[in-house]
Amino acid sequence: MPGSPLIDIAGKLSGDLGGLTFSSPVAFVYDPTDYALEPFKRYLRKYGREPKRTVLVGMNPGPWGMLQTGVPFGETAFVRDWMGIEGKVNRPVVIHPKRPVEGFGCTRSEVSGRRLWGWAEKRFGTARTFFEDFFVLNYCPLAFFDEGGRNITPDHLKAEDKARLFRLCDGAIRQTVEMLAPDFVVGIGRFAHDRCSAALNGLDLKVGRITHPSPANPKANRGWESMVEWELSELGIDVPKIRLEDCGQEKAGV
């Protein structure tokens, strides 16, 4: 399979992050861009062809999404059936029993991913149509858990850990965005917006923000789809109508 600059950027970031250590309460670190490399590469190769008009950026992998499939917001059914992506998923070297990695056999639902990709399917019809102008990635490829298996988001790391992590992730997101050459970069939630604003300073594009689809976000539980379309419209991002010729195609054949 042909190489991809996005794969090279992600691979270097994964290697650089692998050299970091993290302070308590972090006890477990998962990197799905390493152990789920096969489907992750397929996602980048299939849908990461530059340029894109809009890049949507999340914070870091979710336990029942990207940690299982290697794809950002990677709700298993949408990755396999809508995007047409599968692949071998290995396991992290050290794993918490409450945070298993079952790959495409995972039956738990990633609500954030179900909302995001469900909206994309409903609005665009096929993955091919959506990814003509959009791309989705995460600012940080790592997930962090404490001794009890509780998720620790990057913004809650110790200050010195954040400084090292953000320096590497800032560089990688800037390189990736330069490669994709979008007009808009949209942070999914406040954290991603703030990091993108800092990392992409000086580039000729607009950085915006939409509401995160997490069920932990009360706003997201009150009609997230209509809310996000209004937010995108306010940023100047037009969401095209579904092309009827695309809707009849097989989901896995895009």
Residue by residue, DSSP assigns 88-110 as: -----SS--TTS---GGG--S--
152 and 139 in contact (C-beta within 8 Å)? no
Q: What is the pTM of this model?
A: 0.93
Q: Angle, nearest 10°, between helix axes 37-47 and 5-17? A: 150
33: left (phi over 0), alpha (psi -120 to 50) or beta: alpha
Express each pLDDT in 74-131 by its tens digit.
999 999 999 999 999 999 999 999 999 999 999 999 999 999 999 999 999 999 999 9
pLDDT at 3: 58
CATH (one of 3.40.470.10, 2.40.128.90, 3.10.450.50, 3.40.50.620) for 11-235: 3.40.470.10
How many angstroms separate the CA atoms of 152 and 183, rounded?
32
Six token digits for residue 165 = 């992590």
Domain ranges of the chain: 11-235
Enter the DSSP assignment of 150.
Answer: -
What confidence tens digit (pLDDT) does each residue in 24-83 have? Answer: 999 999 999 999 999 999 999 999 987 999 999 999 999 999 999 999 999 999 999 999
Report angle CA 106, 108, 110 to the nearest 5 degrees. Answer: 110
Characterize the bridge pairing of strands 54-58 and 184-188.
parallel
The string of pLDDT tens digits covering residues 182-211 is: 999 999 999 999 999 999 999 999 999 999
